[in-house]
């Protein structure tokens, strides 16, 4: 386990996140995820993210009110950087917190290259099985 330091592009939002890229990351082929260039690291403890600054700059990507999914995608309202996703869904094992890998300021190139990537098949609503193709993600 490591404490990573993350931030948005403009530096207005900064946080710490306890996790390990070596434990794996996730991408997804769902339409929303493809458009957002989704690549996240799940934190072992949903309370493992600590905001250091910028609470007033955090916004949420709007979702359909009737989708019934408790998932919240946060971003910096000043520069638009995607920051993290949090929620509580049975498909994710309950309460979860995932940080966008691109926001991790002190993740080394070696850690990023070596990080395993699970590609979820959200496009077919088959989340527990990997997508058959991922080169376009």
What pLDDT, on a 0 to 100 scale, did the predictor assign at position 89?
84
What pLDDT, on a 0 to 100 scale, did the predictor assign at position 71?
85
For the chain, count helices (H), then strands (E).
Answer: 2, 11
**Which of 62, 81, 80 shows the shortest CA–CA distance to 72?**
62
Instruction: Determine how many CB atoms are found less than 10 A away from the CB of residue 25.
Output: 21
Q: In sequence order, what are the residues at sequence separation of 6 or more whose Cβ sits closer than 8 angstroms to the Cβ of residue 84?
A: 15, 17, 40, 49, 74, 97, 98, 99, 100, 103
Residue 84 lies in a domain: yes
Residue 132 lies in a domain: no
Residue with tokens 């049975």: 90
Q: What is the CATH number of the domain that holds 77?
A: 2.170.150.70
What pLDDT, on a 0 to 100 scale, did the predictor assign at position 35?
85
Full domain range(s) for residue 26: 2-121
Residue 126 lies in a domain: no
Angle at CA of residue 62, ends 59 and 66, nearest 5°: 140
Q: How many folded domains does the chain comprise?
A: 1
Residue 43 lies in a domain: yes
Residue 136 lies in a domain: no
Residue 130 lies in a domain: no
Angle at CA of residue 85, ends 84 and 91, nearest 5°: 150
What pLDDT, on a 0 to 100 scale, did the predictor assign at position 67?
63
Q: Mind listing the pLDDT tens digit of every residue in the chain (137 residues)?
A: 999 999 999 999 999 999 999 999 999 888 888 888 889 999 999 999 999 999 999 999 876 666 667 889 999 999 999 999 999 988 778 999 999 999 999 999 999 999 999 998 888 888 778 888 877 77
Residue 77 lies in a domain: yes
Residue 134 lies in a domain: no
Distance of CA 74 to the CA centre of its chain: 9
């Amino acid at each position: 386990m490591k404490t990573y330091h993350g931030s948005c592009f403009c530096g207005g939002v900064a946080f710490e996140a306890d996790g390990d890229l070596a434990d794996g990351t996730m991408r997804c082929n769902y339409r929303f995820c493809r458009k957002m260039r989704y690549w996240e690291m799940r934190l072992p403890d949903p309370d493992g993210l600590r905001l250091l600054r910028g609470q007033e700059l955090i916004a949420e990507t709007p979702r359909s009110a009737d989708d019934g999914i408790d998932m919240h995608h946060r971003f910096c309202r000043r520069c638009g950087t995607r920051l993290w996703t949090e929620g509580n869904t049975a498909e994710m094992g309950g309460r979860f917190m995932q940080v966008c890998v691109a926001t991790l300021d002190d993740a080394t190139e070696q850690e990023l290259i070596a990080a395993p990537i699970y590609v979820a098949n959200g496009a077919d609503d088959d989340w527990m099985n990997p997508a058959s193709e991922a080169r376009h993600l």
